[in-house]
A and B are shown apart, each in its own frame.
Chain A
Amino acid sequence: MTQEELLEQIYKKDDKAFTLLYDMYAKSLFGVIFNLIKDREEAEDVLQEVFVKIWKNLDSYNENKGRFFTWILNIARNAAIDKLRSKDFNNSQKNLSADNFVHILDDPGRMINKIDTIGIHEFVKKLKPKCIQLIDLLFFKGYTQQEVADELEIPLGTVKTQNRNCINELRNLLKV
Chain B
Amino acid sequence: MNSREYIESGILELYVFGKLSEEERQDVQQMAADSPAIRTEIAAIEKAVIDLSQSVSPTISSETYDKIRQELLGDDPKVVHLKQKTNWTQYLGWVASFILLLGAGLMYLKMNDSMNEQINSEIEKNKAEYSKMQQTVSTLEQKNKAVENMMEILRDPNNTIVALDGQAAMPSASVKVYWNRATQAVYVDAKSLPEPPQGMVYQVWALKMDPFTPTSIGLLERATASSSKMYRVDNTHEAEAFGITLEPEGGNATPTMEQLYALGKV
Residues of A within 8 A of B (CB): 14-16, 18-19, 22, 25-32, 34-35, 40, 43-44, 47-48, 51-52, 55, 64, 66-67, 69-71, 73-74, 77, 101-102, 104-105, 110-113, 116, 118, 120-121, 124, 135, 138-140, 142, 144-145, 160-164, 167, 170-171, 174, 176
- Tell me, rounded to whole Å, the shortest Cβ–Cβ distance linking B102 to chain A: 12
B13 CB-CB contact with A under 8 Å: yes
Q: Which residues from chain A contact B53 at a C-beta distance below 8 Å?
A: 27-29, 31-32, 35, 101, 139-140
- Tell me, rounded to whole Å, the shortest Cβ–Cβ distance linking A6 to chain B: 12
B67 CB-CB contact with A under 8 Å: yes
Q: Which residues from chain A contact B10 at a C-beta distance below 8 Å?
A: 160-164
- Tell me, rounded to whole Å, the shortest Cβ–Cβ distance linking A28 to chain B: 4
Q: Which residues from chain A contact B195 at a C-beta distance below 8 Å?
A: none
- Tell me, rounded to whole Å, the shortest Cβ–Cβ distance linking A138 to chain B: 6
Chain B interface bracket (under 10, 10 to 19, 20 to 34, 35 or more):
35 or more
User: Do most interface residues of chain A lie in helix, strand or loop, or is the interface mixed?
Assistant: helix
Q: Which residues from chain B contact A15 at a C-beta distance below 8 Å?
A: 73, 83-84, 87
Q: Find out whether the CB atom of A28 lies under 8 angstroms from the CB atom of B57.
A: yes
Q: Find out whether the CB atom of A120 lies under 8 angstroms from the CB atom of B55.
A: yes
> Which of A77, A113, A121, A171 has a CB less than 8 Å from the CB of B58?
A113
> Which of A47, A118, A161 has a CB less than 8 Å from the CB of B55?
A118
When C-beta atoms are compared, the residue in chain B nearest to A20 turns out to be B91
Q: Find out whether the CB atom of A69 lies under 8 angstroms from the CB atom of B87.
A: no
Q: Which residues from chain B contact A176 at a C-beta distance below 8 Å?
A: 44, 47-48, 51
Q: Find out whether the CB atom of A64 lies under 8 angstroms from the CB atom of B29.
A: yes
Q: Find out whether the CB atom of A110 lies under 8 angstroms from the CB atom of B58.
A: yes
Q: Find out whether the CB atom of A69 lies under 8 angstroms from the CB atom of B19.
A: no
Q: Which of B74-100 contact A (CB under 8 A)?
A: 83-84, 87-88, 91
> Which of A47, A74, A101, A164 has a CB less than 8 Å from the CB of B68?
A47
The distance in angstroms between the C-alpha atoms of A33 and B77, with both chains bound, is 24
Q: Find out whether the CB atom of B52 lies under 8 angstroms from the CB atom of A66.
A: no
- Tell me, rounded to whole Å, the shortest Cβ–Cβ distance linking A125 to chain B: 11
The distance in angstroms between the C-alpha atoms of A43 and B61, with both chains bound, is 11
The distance in angstroms between the C-alpha atoms of A26 and B58, with both chains bound, is 11
